[in-house]
Amino acid sequence: MTARSNWCGDYTAVALSLGLAAVFLYAGFDKIRDPLQFADSIAAFAILPAAFISPLALSLPPFEVACGLLLLWPSTRRVGALAVALISVVFFTALLSALLRGLTLDCGCFGVGAPSRSRMWLELGLNVVLFGASVFIFLSSLAQSASRAR
């Protein structure tokens, strides 16, 4: 029974890794195409001072692409999952803060779109799913490396 649940867990982790990798590769490449639009989206959150907006708009898309690539290989999956979990917490906090301040914006998460509060709530929920999936992958990878170490 334990072997079977481990087997199921491993396959679930692989499937989730592939799904997360696809999401992050798409999101990253989409933002790389138009950094100005993404910088405007970051500025709309009114959280960061102007000096930090361009560096973040330039570095976040390659970071997302790297996360997607790391999730594809078993040896790097754990670091990729941890990076996704951390970035999901950052996105969640920024979106929740904007919603609580009554802002209506396009978060720029997946390309250009019309500013909409309903979409912001949807993306907040998506971040919870991304966080849950990445924590599952991280713990599953950790358990795998622990069982290999025994």
Partner 1 sequence: MNLREQYPVYLRDFIGVLCLALVSLAAGLLINRFRSSPLPIVYRSPEQRFDAELTTLIVAPPFKIAPAATVGLAECRSAVENKSTLILDARPSALFEQGHVPGAFNLARDDFAHDYRRLDSVLKAAQNKPIIVYCGGGNCHDSRLVANALLTLGFGDVSVFTGGWEVWSASSLPASTGNGQ
Residue ranges that bind partner 1, judged by CB under 8 A: 32, 35-37, 39-40, 43, 50-51, 53-55, 57-63, 66-67, 70, 78-79, 82-83, 86, 103-105, 112-117, 142, 145-146, 149
Q: Minimum distance between the CB of residue 89 and partner 1, rounded to whole angstroms?
A: 12
**Residue whose CB is less far from partner 1, 59 or 93:** 59
89 close to 132: Cβ distance less than 8 angstroms: no
For 21, 24, 73, 95, the CA distances from 45, given in Å and listed in that order, are 26, 21, 34, 8
Kindly state the smallest distance separating residue 146's Cβ from partner 1, in Å: 5
Contact predicate 107/127, CB 8 Å: no
Q: Taking the chain, what is the end-to-end CA distance rounded to the nearest angstrom?
A: 20
The single residue listed with the structure tokens 């960061």 is 48
Q: Which is nearer to partner 1, 127 or 138 (CB)?
A: 138
Q: How far is the CB of 83 from partner 1 (least distance, A)?
A: 5
